[in-house]
């Protein structure tokens, strides 16, 4: 009897471990792919990739893609797509320039108005998709044309700038250094260390809580190794960034948003309902989920994030151009799919989309430094996207 | 009699599971051979091996067909030899016509140009053979499930079938359609066509089968000849134990009326001038199991779904009372809040998120029960999922198994878990045991009994009359959107129910 119980207990733990590994297996693989790609370019660019100034650039260049990928992940998990985000971000960048430069509105109310406008655009598109069941592909394709046109009209076909210096800090600023140690931003390093400590604290606490309730998580060694590796990477990157100008403001904004969206998707009822809806809308509806409203809100959220991305991009260029945001939607959607989301809906992780965006970003950056022509860059990026999705589908069929 | 098919020592292994273990099956020419077994016993896997869905080389053992060993590498290989399989989930294209469906992938064409004239004429002949009076140009979506089944069979006939495999052909058919289908099988038999019939309905199997092979846990248990076939014998062999009683006993403890519907009228969701539910009045008491009997298309599902937050229908009128108080059930959320739950008849389409695991499916209808101000409490959720997995006896490796990979019975238990956790006062069950095996049925009846003993009430829709008679305290009979009879289960019988329906049909026409 005792033997039997022990045996079944062992089996149960094994099963939980197995599934814990299996569940995260894709995310680990993705991180590994990113690291390999980074090491590859570090080698082929003779060490330029990891230079602090380049690393800082990498963050600045990709922040707006990542921010939009957060919203796009929810849209795609909900079973939809948004093709309009590039045009919307361009339009909002133009709107910001007109308000701040031409009309001389203070940058804070102007920023808030732009974000509200983004939400309103998302709502306008989401309304047709959610309540009238017009396919999102079509509604947002129309939106893509409409807002590209409106951006052109708004700016009169010209570039408008420069922005007020405080607004530029959104993209080009770094968190202030209170220590004044030459050549090293101590505040940034401290922020990095505090972050790592918090991360480990929550991780250990979560594990202790699971064990208190009698559920075994991943094996202890794996747990320790995982935390050490992540802590090491974060500290190393923080160190590199600190030895240049410190942590960019936009990295802070981005990190907070990533943390928020991970929390929403993993821990909040709203997030869970979006996954349920994407997995089987009819079943979700019959379980009492207000699927229409949820779809609508997903697009409102996307609109706000597209607006924020547009503001960051405009602040970075310090001018709004009618062409801003052209083709962004493709990078954003590619990032989400490389990150493992399913085009059928219901599947996808925030961290996957973020890593997917970084994979695209590092490839852009690395190939540019190597001097690969823009034409071949496109070809290679396309093939990587295809390979990532084929890999996913293959694995799913094998399982 | 000569043997047409012999499957010898078939073993099929999936990662971690031995789905088939040295299975043997032989089918004689012109016989109806039934294949029975609980869900997950390996029936469908065996048929997939036979039809080449799992190609030669992915399994061990050999298939001898018409005296020759076969190495099927895909369905087209086996179809060429006259082996046609009709799956439980029909594979027709809804927006194409009957003729287009029958000749899909097999069109009578010259240089790629389809000769529709030939196709339509041949379709007419085939439809006559299966006894379906429909125009070849009718779209599939306009046919009922029973007729669609016949179209599938006509399609099989178009391919010169020698061995017809039917996977649960009558699972979603009413009694009349089922009988017609079985008669058709007998007719084919007379023409020398062999059939393999997979079915959970043992009375049907007993009616038409010449021999029965029983599978259990991926192994052949025995093959019975016609004279040895009895329901008890099959059941014993299937579950490996004596199932003393098909329905668990219960001492009814019935209280006051908790749920009442008055003058309920519902119109069709597209053709809003058509009345689907026409003035229904019914009630359910505390601790009572009330059944709704009726033929397919009587409006039972439509009624249940319209009560459940207007999930079906238009221009709905009437009143719902809970414990004597009129309540607003105009949205699904409100219906759930008022303690109503509806367990769908179609668990794959309406019941489960098949790409997600058991845990998430269990809590989705009552996330508030495991969360505080919108934040889910992981530990509480884990506890709930494990608790309900145990309560409803879901067989899975853990709560992290995808519901899409569970057998039908276990899927049904996940849907039940979801609604049990929502803690309703009234649970509406729509065909709760459709397509699931005897053992799982018994478990579901046990859950129902447990529920009413806790003071809940159950409204159960079922097309299996023995089940209604065995489980319910009181039975309503519905026909064409009206209630045409009400009787205590103790006075009810299959004949009485049928008589009520037929009498109503007579009045209606």
Each residue of B483-508: pLDDT tens digit?
Answer: 999 999 888 887 788 788 877 766 65
Nearest to A282 among B349, B382, B398 (CB): B349
What would the mean pLDDT of B256-271 be, rounded to a whole number? Answer: 90
Residue B201, C-beta contacts closer than 8 angstroms, at least 6 positions apart? B170, B178
Give the closest-approach CA distance of A8 to chain B in angstroms: 11
Structure confidence at residue B438 (pLDDT): 74
CATH number for the domain harbouring residue A380 = 1.10.3470
Structure confidence at residue B494 (pLDDT): 79
Cβ–Cβ below 8 Å for B376 and A347: no
Mutate to test the interface with A, among B330, B337, B349, B355 (most CBs of A within 10 A): B355
Please answer whether residues B489 and B373 qualify as being in contact, where contact means their C-beta atoms are separated by less than 8 angstroms. Answer: no
Q: Please determine, for residue B329, whether its predicted confidence score (pLDDT) is greater than 70.
A: yes
A340 touching chain B per CB within 8 A: no
**Inter-chain CB pairs, A–B, below 8 Å:** 91
> Could you identify the residue written with the tokens 């925030």?
A350
A106 touching chain B per CB within 8 A: no
Q: Please determine, for residue B17, whether its predicted confidence score (pLDDT) is greater than 70.
A: no
Closest-CA residue to B162 (of B184, B119, B187, B191): B191
Report residue B236: phi and psi, to 5°. -55, -45
Cβ–Cβ below 8 Å for B365 and A276: no
Q: What is the DSSP string of A54-80?
A: HHHHHHHHHHHHHHHHHHHHHHHHTT-
Cβ–Cβ below 8 Å for A23 and B400: yes
pTM of this prediction?
Answer: 0.80
What would the mean pLDDT of B455-460 be, rounded to a whole number? Answer: 94
Mutate to test the interface with B, among A24, A286, A347 (most CBs of B within 10 A): A286
Closest-CA residue to B420 (of B501, B342, B488): B342
Q: Count how many domains chain A has.
A: 2
Q: Are residues B369 and B314 in the same domain?
A: yes
Q: Are residues B330 and B478 in the same domain?
A: yes
Closest-CA residue to B130 (of B108, B157, B91): B157
A262 touching chain B per CB within 8 A: no
Report residue B6: phi and psi, to 5°. -135, 125
Residue A8 lies in a domain: no
Residue B231, C-beta contacts closer than 8 angstroms, at least 6 positions apart? B202, B203, B206
Q: Are residues A64 and A129 in the same domain?
A: yes
Rounded to two decimals, the ipTM of the complex is 0.85
What would the mean pLDDT of B459-468 be, rounded to a whole number? Answer: 87
Chain A residue whose CA is closest to B397: A15
Q: Are residues A161 and A182 in the same domain?
A: no
Give the closest-approach CA distance of A3 to chain B in angstroms: 20
Structure confidence at residue B505 (pLDDT): 67
Structure confidence at residue A40 (pLDDT): 92
Give the closest-approach CA distance of B58 to chain A in angstroms: 13
Structure confidence at residue A7 (pLDDT): 37
Contacting A with CB below 8 Å, chain B residues are 15, 308-309, 311, 331-333, 335-336, 342, 344, 349-356, 360, 364-365, 367-368, 371, 374-376, 378-379, 382-383, 397-398, 400, 418
Cβ–Cβ below 8 Å for B376 and A286: no
Chain A residues with CB inside 8 Å of B400's CB? Answer: 16, 19, 23
- Compute and round to an integer the Cα radius of gyration of chain B: 24
Please list the residues that pair with B139 across neighbouring strands. Answer: B97
Q: Are residues B233 and B271 in the same domain?
A: no
Structure confidence at residue A179 (pLDDT): 80
Structure confidence at residue B1 (pLDDT): 67
Structure confidence at residue B241 (pLDDT): 57
Q: Are residues A67 and A142 in the same domain?
A: yes
Residue A173 has a CB neighbour count (10 Å cut-off) of: 18
Q: Are residues A366 and A392 in the same domain?
A: yes
Q: Are residues A183 and A235 in the same domain?
A: yes
Mutate to test the interface with A, among B329, B362, B367 (most CBs of A within 10 A): B367
Residue B29 lies in a domain: yes
Give the model's confidence band at B219: pLDDT under 50 very low, under 70 low, under 90 confident, else very high. confident
- Quick one: DSSP state of residue A101? I
Cβ–Cβ below 8 Å for A276 and B376: no
Chain B residues with CB inside 8 Å of A267's CB? Answer: 375-376, 378
Q: Are residues A92 and A46 in the same domain?
A: yes
Cβ–Cβ below 8 Å for A280 and B375: no
- Which pLDDT tens digit goes with each residue over B47-78? 999 988 899 888 999 999 988 898 999 888 89
How many Å apart are CA A34 and CA A29, to the nearest integer?
9
- Which pLDDT tens digit goes with each residue over B343-384? 998 898 899 999 999 999 999 999 999 999 999 998 899 999
Residue B247 lies in a domain: no
Q: Are residues B265 and B226 in the same domain?
A: no
* Cis preceding-peptide flag for A162 (omega within 30 of 0): yes
Cβ–Cβ below 8 Å for A285 and B332: yes
Q: Which residue segment(s) compose the domain that B281 sits in?
A: 257-508
Q: Please determine, for residue B205, whether its predicted confidence score (pLDDT) is greater than 80.
A: yes
Residue ranges of alpha helices (H) inside B66-225 are 75-80, 98-102, 116-130, 145-158, 175-190, 202-208
Percentage of chain B exceeding pLDDT 70: 96
CATH number for the domain harbouring residue B470 = 3.40.50.300
Nearest to A288 among B336, B344, B350 (CB): B336
Residue B142 lies in a domain: yes
Give the closest-approach CA distance of B184 to chain A in angstroms: 36
A285 touching chain B per CB within 8 A: yes
Residue A136 lies in a domain: yes
Residue A28 lies in a domain: no
Q: Which residue segment(s) compose the domain that A199 sits in?
A: 176-247
Residue A16 lies in a domain: no
Nearest to B360 among A23, A213, A272 (CB): A272
A16 touching chain B per CB within 8 A: yes
Q: Are residues A312 and A381 in the same domain?
A: yes
Q: Are residues A205 and A221 in the same domain?
A: yes
Residue B244 lies in a domain: no
Q: Which two tokens stand for residue A84?
A: 């309009």
Average pLDDT, chain B: 87
* Distances from the Cα of B192 to the Cα of B185, B186, B227, B324, angstroms: 11, 10, 21, 62
> Could you identify the residue written with the tokens 């519902």?
B266
Chain B residues with CB inside 8 Å of A76's CB? Answer: none
Closest-CA residue to A111 (of A295, A331, A258, A307): A307
Chain A residues with CB inside 8 Å of B376's CB? Answer: 267-269, 272
Residue A4 lies in a domain: no
How many Å apart are CA B19 and CA B169, to the nearest integer?
23
Residue A342 lies in a domain: yes
Residue B248 lies in a domain: no
Structure confidence at residue A5 (pLDDT): 36
Structure confidence at residue B172 (pLDDT): 67
Q: What is the mean pLDDT of each run of 10 residues along chain A (399 residues)?
A: 36 41 66 90 89 89 95 97 97 95 93 97 97 96 96 92 90 83 86 91 87 78 87 90 88 93 94 95 94 97 97 94 91 93 91 93 91 90 89 73
Mutate to test the interface with A, among B14, B329, B334, B356 (most CBs of A within 10 A): B356
Structure confidence at residue B352 (pLDDT): 94
Chain A residues with CB inside 8 Å of B352's CB? Answer: 280, 283
Q: Count how many domains chain B has.
A: 2
Q: Are residues B263 and B184 in the same domain?
A: no
Q: Are residues B66 and B121 in the same domain?
A: yes
Q: Are residues A168 and A184 in the same domain?
A: no
Structure confidence at residue B230 (pLDDT): 79
Q: Would strands B314-322 and B257-267 be described as parallel, antiparallel, or unpaired?
A: antiparallel
Q: Are residues B345 and B216 in the same domain?
A: no
Q: Are residues B103 and B174 in the same domain?
A: yes
Cβ–Cβ below 8 Å for A209 and B379: yes
Cβ–Cβ below 8 Å for A272 and B352: no
Structure confidence at residue A1 (pLDDT): 32
Residue A229 lies in a domain: yes
Structure confidence at residue A299 (pLDDT): 98
Report residue B326: phi and psi, to 5°. -70, 135
A395 touching chain B per CB within 8 A: no
Q: Are residues A69 and A145 in the same domain?
A: yes
Residue B245 lies in a domain: no
Residue B12 lies in a domain: yes
Q: Are residues B116 and B233 in the same domain?
A: yes
Please answer whether residues B131 and B150 qualify as being in contact, where contact means their C-beta atoms are separated by less than 8 angstroms. Answer: yes
Give the closest-approach CA distance of A325 to chain B in angstroms: 35
Q: Are residues B181 and B298 in the same domain?
A: no
Q: Are residues B276 and B314 in the same domain?
A: yes
Chain A residue whose CA is closest to B344: A286
Closest-CA residue to A389 (of A351, A326, A333, A328): A333
Residue B251 lies in a domain: no
Residue A374 lies in a domain: yes
Mutate to test the interface with B, among A288, A289, A342, A392 (most CBs of B within 10 A): A288
Chain B residue whose CA is closest to A280: B353
Chain B residues with CB inside 8 Å of A23's CB? Answer: 400
Chain B residues with CB inside 8 Å of A346's CB? Answer: 353, 355-356
Cβ–Cβ below 8 Å for B351 and A286: yes
Q: Mean pLDDT lowest for which of A304-308, A395-399, B7-11, B293-297?
A: A395-399
What would the mean pLDDT of B276-302 be, rounded to a whole number? Answer: 90
Q: Are residues A285 and A384 in the same domain?
A: yes
Q: Are residues B230 and B310 in the same domain?
A: no
Q: Are residues A187 and A41 in the same domain?
A: no
Chain A residue whose CA is closest to B364: A287
How many Å apart are CA A349 and CA A77, to the nearest integer?
9
- Which pLDDT tens digit goes with each residue over B388-433? 999 998 888 889 888 988 888 889 999 999 999 999 999 999 999 8
Give the closest-approach CA distance of B60 to chain A in angstroms: 19
């Amino acid at each position: 009897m005792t033997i039997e119980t022990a045996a079944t207990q062992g089996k149960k733990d094994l099963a939980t471990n197995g599934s814990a590994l299996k569940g995260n297996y894709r995310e680990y693989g993705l991180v590994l792919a990113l690291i390999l790609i980074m090491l590859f370019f570090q080698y082929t660019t003779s060490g330029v990739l990891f230079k602090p100034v380049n690393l800082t650039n990498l963050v600045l260049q990709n922040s707006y893609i990542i921010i939009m990928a957060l919203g796009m992940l929810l849209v795609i998990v909900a079973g939809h797509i948004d093709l309009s985000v590039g045009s919307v971000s361009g339009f909002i960048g133009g709107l910001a320039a007109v308000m701040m430069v031409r009309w001389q509105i203070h940058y804070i109310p102007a920023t808030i108005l732009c974000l509200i406008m983004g939400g309103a655009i998302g709502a306008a598109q989401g309304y047709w998709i959610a309540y009238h069941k017009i396919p999102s592909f079509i509604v947002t394709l129309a939106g893509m044309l409409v807002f590209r046109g409106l951006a052109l009209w708004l700016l009169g076909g010209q570039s408008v700038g420069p922005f007020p210096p405080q607004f530029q800090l959104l993209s080009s600023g770094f968190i202030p250094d209170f220590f004044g140690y030459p050549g090293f931003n101590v505040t940034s390093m401290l922020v990095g260390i505090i972050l790592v400590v918090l991360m480990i604290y929550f991780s250990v606490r979560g594990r202790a809580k699971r064990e208190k309730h009698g559920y075994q998580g991943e094996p202890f060694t794996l747990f320790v190794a995982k935390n050490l590796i992540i802590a090491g990477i974060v500290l190393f990157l923080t160190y590199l960034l600190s030895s240049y100008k410190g942590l960019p403001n936009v990295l802070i904004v981005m990190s907070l948003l990533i943390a928020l969206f991970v929390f929403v998707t993993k821990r909040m009822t709203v997030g869970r309902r979006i996954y349920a809806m994407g997995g089987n809308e009819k079943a979700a509806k019959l379980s009492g989920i207000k699927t229409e409203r949820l779809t609508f809100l997903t697009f409102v959220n996307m609109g706000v994030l597209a607006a924020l991305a547009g503001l960051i991009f405009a602040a970075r260029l310090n001018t709004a151009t009618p062409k801003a945001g052209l083709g962004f939607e493709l990078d954003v959607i590619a990032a989400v799919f490389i990150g493992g989301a399913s085009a059928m809906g219901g599947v996808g992780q925030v961290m996957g989309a973020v890593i997917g965006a970084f994979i695209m970003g590092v490839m852009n950056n690395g190939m540019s430094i190597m001097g690969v022509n823009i034409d071949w860059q496109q070809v290679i990026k396309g093939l990587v996207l295809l390979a990532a999705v084929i890999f996913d589908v293959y694995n799913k069929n094998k399982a | 009699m000569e043997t047409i098919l012999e499957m010898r020592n078939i073993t099929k292994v999936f990662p971690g599971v031995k789905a088939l273990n040295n299975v043997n099956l032989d089918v004689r020419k012109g016989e109806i051979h039934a294949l029975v077994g609980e869900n997950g016993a390996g029936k469908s896997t065996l048929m997939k091996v036979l039809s080449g869905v799992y190609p030669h080389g992915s399994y061990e053992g050999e298939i001898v067909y018409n005296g020759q060993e076969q190495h099927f590498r895909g369905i087209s290989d086996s179809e060429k030899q006259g082996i046609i399989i009709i799956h439980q989930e029909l594979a027709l294209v809804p927006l194409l016509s009957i003729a287009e469906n029958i000749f899909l992938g097999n069109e009578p064409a010259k240089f790629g140009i389809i000769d529709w004239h030939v196709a339509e004429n041949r379709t007419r002949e085939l439809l006559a053979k299966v006894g379906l009076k429909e125009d070849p140009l009718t779209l599939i979506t306009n046919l009922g499930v029973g007729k669609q089944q016949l179209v599938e069979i006509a399609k099989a006939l178009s391919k010169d079938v020698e061995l017809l495999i039917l996977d649960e052909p009558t699972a979603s058919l009413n009694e009349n359609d089922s009988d017609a289908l079985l008669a058709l099988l007998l007719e084919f038999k007379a023409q020398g066509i062999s059939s393999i019939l997979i079915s959970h309905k043992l009375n049907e199997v007993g009616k038409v089968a010449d021999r029965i092979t029983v599978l259990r846990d991926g192994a052949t248990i025995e093959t019975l000849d016609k004279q040895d076939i009895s329901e008890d014998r099959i059941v014993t062999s299937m579950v490996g134990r004596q199932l003393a009683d098909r329905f668990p006993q219960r001492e009814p403890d019935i209280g006051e009326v908790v749920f009442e519907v008055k003058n309920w009228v519902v119109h069709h969701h597209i053709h809003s001038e058509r009345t689907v539910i026409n003035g229904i009045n019914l009630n359910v008491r505390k601790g009572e199991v009330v059944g709704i009997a009726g033929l397919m298309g009587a409006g039972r599902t439509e009624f249940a779904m319209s009560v459940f937050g207007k999930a079906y229908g238009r221009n709905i009128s009437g009143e719902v009372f809970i414990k004597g108080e009129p309540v607003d059930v105009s949205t699904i959320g409100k219906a759930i809040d008022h303690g109503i739950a509806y367990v769908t008849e179609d668990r794959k389409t309406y019941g489960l998120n098949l790409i997600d695991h058991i845990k998430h499916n269990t809590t989705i209808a009552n996330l508030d029960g495991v969360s505080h101000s919108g934040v889910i409490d992981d530990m509480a959720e884990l506890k709930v999922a494990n608790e309900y997995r145990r309560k409803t006896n879901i067989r899975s490796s853990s709560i992290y198994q995808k519901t899409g990979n569970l057998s039908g019975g276990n899927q049904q238990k996940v849907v039940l878990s979801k609604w049990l956790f929502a803690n309703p006062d009234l649970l509406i069950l729509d065909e709760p045991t459709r397509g699931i095996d005897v053992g799982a049925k018994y478990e579901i009846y046990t859950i129902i009994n447990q529920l009413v003993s806790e003071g809940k009430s159950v409204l159960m829709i079922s097309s299996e009359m023995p089940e209604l008679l065995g489980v319910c305290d009181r039975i309503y009979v519905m026909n064409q959107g009206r209630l045409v009879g009400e009787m205590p289960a103790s006075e009810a019988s299959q004949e009485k129910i049928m008589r009520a329906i037929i009498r109503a049909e007579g009045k209606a026409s």
